[in-house]
Copies of this chain bind each other. A is one copy, B any other.
Amino acid sequence: MAIILGDNQYGKAESRIVRIYRDQPRHEIRDLNVSTALRGPFEPAYLVGDQSNVLPTDTQKNTAYAFAKSKGIGAIEDYGLELARHFVNEVDPVVGARIEIEEFAWERAIVDGAEHDHTWMRKGQEVRTAAVTVDATGEYVIAGLKDLTILKSTGSEFTGFLVDEFTTLPETRDRVMATALDVKWRYAGTDVAWDEVYADVKMLMVKQFATLQSLALQQTLWHMGKAVLEAYPAIVEMRLRAPNKHHFDYDIARFDLENNHEVFWAADRAYGLIEATVLRDDSPPANDAWRSAAGLA
Query: Do the beta carbons of A3 and B279 come within 8 Å of each other?
Result: yes
> CB < 8 Å: which of B106, B206, B268 contacts A269?
B268
Question: Does A158 sit at the interface, judged by CB under 8 A?
Answer: yes
Stretch binding the partner chain, chosen from A63-71, A131-139, A190-198: A63-71
Question: Does A109 sit at the interface, judged by CB under 8 A?
Answer: yes
Contact indicator per residue, chain A 155-183, by CB within 8 Å of chain B (1) or not (0):
10011111111111100000010000000
Query: Do the beta carbons of A51 and B159 come within 8 Å of each other?
Result: yes
Question: Does A57 sit at the interface, judged by CB under 8 A?
Answer: yes
The interface residues of chain B lying within 8 Å CB-to-CB of A57 are 244, 270, 272-273
The interface residues of chain B lying within 8 Å CB-to-CB of A150 are 109, 119-122
How distant is the Cα of A274 from the Cα of B262 in the complex, in angstroms? Answer: 30
Interface of chain A: mostly helix, strand, loop or mixed: mixed
> CB < 8 Å: which of B15, B163, B276 contacts A8?
B276
Question: Which chain B residue lies CB-closest to A165?
Answer: B255
Q: Chain B's nearest CB lies how many Å from the CB of A53?
A: 6
Question: Does A209 sit at the interface, judged by CB under 8 A?
Answer: yes
The interface residues of chain B lying within 8 Å CB-to-CB of A17 are 250, 263-266
16 of the cross-chain contacts (CB-CB < 8 Å) are A6-B237, A8-B275, A8-B276, A12-B272, A13-B243, A20-B176, A22-B260, A35-B273, A55-B161, A59-B167, A63-B166, A69-B259, A91-B162, A106-B151, A121-B125, A123-B124
